[in-house]
Homo-oligomer: A and B are copies of this chain.
Amino acid sequence: MENILLNCKGLSAELSFVDNYIDEFLRTNQETGAVAQVLSSARLSRGKMIRPLLLLIAARFGSRYQERRQRLCKLGALIEIVHMTSLIHDDIIDDSPLRRGRSTVQQQYGKDMAVFAGDFMISRVLRLLSQERLNREGLGIAETIEEMCHGELGQMSCRWDTKTTIDAYLRNIHGKTVALFVKAMQLGAAAAGANERIINSLAAIGEHIGYMFQMRDDLLDFTSVADQVGKPVHRDFADGIYTLPVLYAFAQPSYSPRLKEIAAINNDAVRYEEFLQEMGKLVHQSGGFEFCQRQIDNHAALAMRQISTLPVQEARQGLSRIVEQLLDYGEEAHLPITGSL
């Protein structure tokens, strides 16, 4: 992160503005009630703000970037709030006890609070878009929220289904994760007045980065330590969500029968730690990790090629650093791509 901030002048200050806007947009008069508690808890669970970061870097490719900085920071805040909302509503389904090491809104306050805290946050997005008359942006955000819902619902209908195809998986993560990365890039570039060609190029880069981000997340679910990434290990499989490494392993005749057996044993009610451990080993042995990493590397290469065609050296370097960091597991986990589990 510091790397990227050093590369792009002013980015650090802009992210602080985004941060302040998020606080401002989610503030409520009713500071005493349950709502306020839920919101401040949601504000605390804010992530690394990679989506606003992408939006602000994309904006540097537009000629009106300087004069539009305030609007850009507001858009960055909106994008992050959309993301935060999706996390809160997502956790209702996943029954996640932990999100980035903190207990989730639904864990602390129940599903009821989580549903309406999320709705409240969407209402603030609508309010701001209306107040600022950001109609084009509103349309884009609406379409993205819709895609996100399709992705989540698609993932739900694939849940516990060991016959899920890789195509279905890719469609689902496109909605769930990739679409908002693409939109962050488009919104930033368009609001700063970048031309059509550049906007499309940045959207394509956002798409590759989005896929990298999600697939990396899938891999980290096999190896990360609970208090580092904030999620216990093997959660996806335990929740019946079969990610890319698992889907690859399901397709290998020597691993498929046992893995599907474990999938059948495992269910919503009980978590069989020893079977999950075995599942992790089998997926590793099947080459599932390598397969997933190859897809990530592929997206990285395509992103880098696109990035090299862009003008504005400083911002270009910012994007390259993001791609590089998504390839580096050093800080977050020791991923045994080569080596034993």
Contact = CB atoms under 8 A, between A and B. Distances in A.
Contacts of A19: none
A135 B115 CA distance: 25
Given A150-B30, A156-B34, A126 B129 contact: yes
Given A33-B157, A115-B92, A146 B130 contact: no
B156 A112 contact: yes
Interface stretch (A116-124, A228-236, A317-325): A116-124
A120 to B, nearest CB: 4
A129 B127 contact: no
A15 interface: no
Contacts of A35: 149-150, 153
A129 B141 CA distance: 12
A119 B34 contact: no
A110 B156 CA distance: 10
Interface in A124-156: 124-127, 129-131, 133, 135-139, 141-143, 145-146, 148-150, 152-154, 156
Interface string A29-67: 010011100100000000000000000000000000000
A141 B115 contact: no
A119 B272 CA distance: 33
Interface of A: 28, 30, 33-35, 38, 89, 92-93, 110-113, 115-120, 122-127, 129-131, 133, 135-139, 141-143, 145-146, 148-150, 152-154, 156-157
